[in-house]
Structure 1
């Protein structure tokens, strides 16, 4: 289940919006040009499934989106806790890569979560929209949108990535310290789990 939290860009002192209703999330993000939709979850696909398995499971949805948007490259990216002694180093490096505000000038950032979760923070029109995405969620952030992404201190996700340009994922960093003013993935995820347990 997704969670959208919106604050003023000045900081999280006031919450403008907080909802986990998919229709409300889609309606709130649509005026920003952000695509949000949910795909059927294939429960038989393991969280750390390889690319071939993921492509086979989500082939119809991938084909539909490619036809609608004209993507030329699709791949699968995954990062999961393991016994690999390099995991902490890889996880920290992966997290820090896009934890600061940036844009993608040459392509949209479109991700479908096969497993796990992550948060996209969209800084648009004087507000910050934190979109907590979980398996089954697809988010499309238009090129040029200032944003950052947090996968937490122990990343665990598999995502399908869609590109119009082969190097479209490269970020142009704004140098703004804004990301440090807002709750990170670990904080939001912990609060969200408490809310769901209490519901």
Structure 2
């Protein structure tokens, strides 16, 4: 279940209130629980899948979100996998953990683990959204945000791309509020 964390230490955990607050930032948060069982659970249990495993998991997720996520809303998708033994993990953490925006939407459907998306509102205030399995987040192009992993870096997510199969980060002048760095 997603939660929204504020610099003063307060939190919002009510799903509808969190979704409304995220919508106020211009983003969209939805939730679709993952199907359980058999092949999907086995694939999700691996830290790093080979190409065949990634293809099988993506095909299963495609079937699961068919009708819920309009196929014409993206042109490409891939599987992002993070874990403690991922080569270059520290560098990836540094790269993601700075405020930036993109000329394209950043869309993720979280399959396993916990991730954090920070947002900068138009008034400069900041908040941190914790996302978990089943959470779908669309951060619109131009929205100032950042992403980080928690202490346990295990996370799998499908990334959806609207126009290109990469996100170009445009750095911001804002700095992350130290109160919003997950422990």
> Which of the five TM-score ranges fits, normalised by the shorter chain?
0.7 to 0.9
Query: Does the 8 Å CA contact 2:127/2:180 hold for their aligned counterparts?
Result: no
Instruction: Identify the match of residue 169 of structure 2 among 148, 171, 177.
Output: 171
The equivalent of 1:92 in structure 2 is 90
Q: Secondary structure at the match of 2:88?
A: helix
Query: Does the 8 Å CA contact 2:106/2:160 hold for their aligned counterparts?
Result: yes
Aligned-residue CA RMSD in angstroms? 2.2
Show the 5 A alignment for 1:9-88: 12=7, 14=8, 18-44=11-37, 45=41, 46-48=44-46, 50-64=53-67, 67=70, 70-82=73-85, 87=86
Moved over 6 A (4+): none
Normalized per residue, the structure richer in helix is: 1
The equivalent of 2:108 in structure 1 is 111
TM-score normalized by the length of structure 1:
0.76
Distance in 2 between the 1:125 and 1:92 partners? 30
TM-score normalized by the length of structure 2:
0.82
Deviation string 1:58-113 (CA, Å, 9 cap, x unpaired) is: 2235433552662100111101234xxxx3x52101111110110002x1011111
Unpaired segments ≥5 residues, structure 1: 7-11, 188-199
Query: Does 95-104 or 146-155 show the bigger shift?
Result: 146-155
How many equivalent pairs are there?
A: 172
The equivalent of 1:190 in structure 2 is none
Unpaired segments ≥5 residues, structure 2: none
